[in-house]
Chain A
Amino acid sequence: MQYKDYYDILGVPRDADGAAIKRAYRKLARKYHPDVSEEADAEERFKEVQEAYEVLKDADKREAYDRLGSNWREGDPFTPPPGWGQDPGGHGGGFRGGADFSDFFASIFGAAPGAGPGGGARGGFQMRGEDRSARIRIRLEDAYAGATRAFSFVTTEIGARGEAQQVRKTVNVTIPKGVTEGQRIRLAGQGGAGFGGGPAGDLFLEIEFEPHAIFHAQGRDIHVELPVAPWEAALGAKIKTPTLGGTVELSIPPGTQSGRRLRLAGRGLPGKVTGDQYATLRIVTPPAATEEQRALYRRMAELMPFEPRAGLGT
């Protein structure tokens, strides 16, 4: 077990008063709260901060902690002096559930209620485990057609001896048809472990789409950029267009300009209101590689008096 320097964790001197400790906690809590922070280790950091504050804000706990002396450094190997932690009831009052504190904390102030051997609730204390959330990346095709994907995550479980341990779990997640980016899947009971026989929290997965080579999604609508030849745009044409459901024919009206957006109704992601597909046309200039092709372009220039920059005042 390692010593934890609670003063160092909160960044306050050992003689800091209650107000300074509270200020330091609030500042760090805002920074590392897992609901607020995007930092990768936010949850771990926040737990440490919470544990440090739990001890230092409480005069009794702080005094007990200070009695260990000030010669310890963060991370030093720590064995509690004989007689420590024998009376968790004495310090256990006001224990704030929902946070799994370190072994070091447990050795001084007693284990989390109910987390001890046998798992029975001491004093009837029960606490639902924390909800966790994570992002899951899926392919757009899976959102369109539905799929089952394995998803791995690390979670905390209370072991047989009451110690918290990190466990990697894999669940098969059914991705329903028509899921959109930002939508959530709830896995009941797959979040943090509960205390004292309380139920485990839930795991929430937020859907994120993998980048797609052709399409991108906005809500249930699918967008695609569609290259067309000048003659297709000028004369009109039926062209083959990829959609998530397969290739369909799209009619290009005569006289279409580059950048025009055409809608394929109902070709987006399925749902109560099925999305549409929008194809933005981009006219691609054919290369003038041979003399014959160059002659054709010159002939066009002669036949079509055309000033594309007419509106620019040049």
Chain B
Amino acid sequence: MPEPQFLHEDDNLSLEEMARASGVRVEIIIELVSHDILQPHGDEAREWRFPAPSIERVQRALRLRRDLELNWPGVSLGLALLDELNDLRRRHRALLRRLG
């Protein structure tokens, strides 16, 4: 049983660490950044720092591209809309709870 690894928002990974943790080649990560699917801190690739939840985002992006036969701009749009949807769902649940 591996130790659960907690993903802090402030854990940061370099480009290489990010590729290794997500099980993909570095080129894929660069591709995802160029389509705004990942938004690392830092300007140049060697300065990039990825927040840890990006690992899951890479997997989701790959799944959506493969399963829905999307191109990267389509994946980028899909993920942006899903983010918004999830945020709204969360706020909706919170409001329902407050209404009791």
A residues with a Cβ closer than 8 A to B are 26, 29-30, 33, 35-36, 38, 46, 50, 96, 98, 128, 130-131, 133, 171-174, 176, 179, 181-190, 199, 201-202, 204, 208, 211, 216, 218, 272
Instruction: Tell me the minimal C-beta distance from A196 to chain B in angstroms.
Output: 14
- The interface bits of chain B over 59-100 (1 if a CB of A lies within 8 angstroms of the residue's CB, else 0) are 110011011110000000010001000000110011001100
**Contact, CB under 8 Å: B4 / A26:** no
A176 to B4, CA, bound (A): 11
Known: A33-B64, A36-B82, A208-B93. 13 other contacts (CB 8 A): A33-B63, A50-B67, A98-B66, A128-B23, A133-B56, A171-B1, A174-B4, A176-B8, A183-B9, A185-B7, A188-B2, A202-B59, A211-B97
Chain B positions within 8 Å of A182 at CB level? 90
Chain A positions within 8 Å of B66 at CB level? 96, 98
Instruction: Tell me the minimal C-beta distance from B32 to chain A in angstroms.
Output: 15
**Contact, CB under 8 Å: A190 / B56:** no
Instruction: Tell me the minimal C-beta distance from B99 to chain A in angstroms.
Output: 11
Instruction: Tell me the minimal C-beta distance from B11 to chain A in angstroms.
Output: 10
Chain A positions within 8 Å of B69 at CB level? 26
Chain B positions within 8 Å of A184 at CB level? 7, 53, 56
Closest to A128 in B: B23
A187 to B90, CA, bound (A): 22
Instruction: Tell me the minimal C-beta distance from A50 to chain B in angstroms.
Output: 7
A-B contacts, 18 of them at CB < 8 A, read A35-B64, A36-B78, A50-B67, A172-B4, A174-B4, A179-B6, A181-B90, A181-B94, A183-B9, A186-B4, A186-B7, A186-B55, A186-B56, A187-B4, A199-B23, A208-B93, A216-B97, A218-B94
Instruction: Tell me the minimal C-beta distance from B100 to chain A in angstroms.
Output: 8
**Contact, CB under 8 Å: B90 / A30:** no
Q: Which of B1-27 contact A (CB under 8 A)?
A: 1-2, 4-10, 23
Chain B positions within 8 Å of A172 at CB level? 4
User: Number of residue pairs across A and B with beta carbons under 8 Å?
Assistant: 77
Chain B positions within 8 Å of A30 at CB level? 68
B residues with a Cβ closer than 8 A to A are 1-2, 4-10, 23, 52-53, 55-56, 59-60, 63-64, 66-69, 78, 82, 89-90, 93-94, 97-98
A58 to B10, CA, bound (A): 46
Chain A positions within 8 Å of B23 at CB level? 128, 199
Instruction: Tell me the minimal C-beta distance from A297 to chain B in angstroms.
Output: 31
Closest to A201 in B: B59
A30 to B70, CA, bound (A): 11
Most chain B beta-carbon neighbours within 10 Å: one of A26, A96, A133, A202 = A202
Chain A positions within 8 Å of B1 at CB level? 171
**Contact, CB under 8 Å: A29 / B7:** no
Closest to B91 in A: A218
Instruction: Tell me the minimal C-beta distance from B1 to chain A in angstroms.
Output: 7
Chain A positions within 8 Å of B89 at CB level? 38
**Contact, CB under 8 Å: A185 / B6:** yes
**Contact, CB under 8 Å: B60 / A189:** no
Chain A positions within 8 Å of B10 at CB level? 272
**Contact, CB under 8 Å: B6 / A186:** yes
A183 to B56, CA, bound (A): 12
Instruction: Tell me the minimal C-beta distance from A288 to chain B in angstroms.
Output: 29
**Contact, CB under 8 Å: A33 / B68:** yes
Closest to B58 in A: A131
A275 to B5, CA, bound (A): 23
Instruction: Tell me the minimal C-beta distance from A139 to chain B in angstroms.
Output: 13
Chain B positions within 8 Å of A46 at CB level? 67
Residue in A29, A131, A187 whose beta carbon sits within 8 Å of that of B68 in the complex: A29
Chain B positions within 8 Å of A186 at CB level? 4-7, 52, 55-56
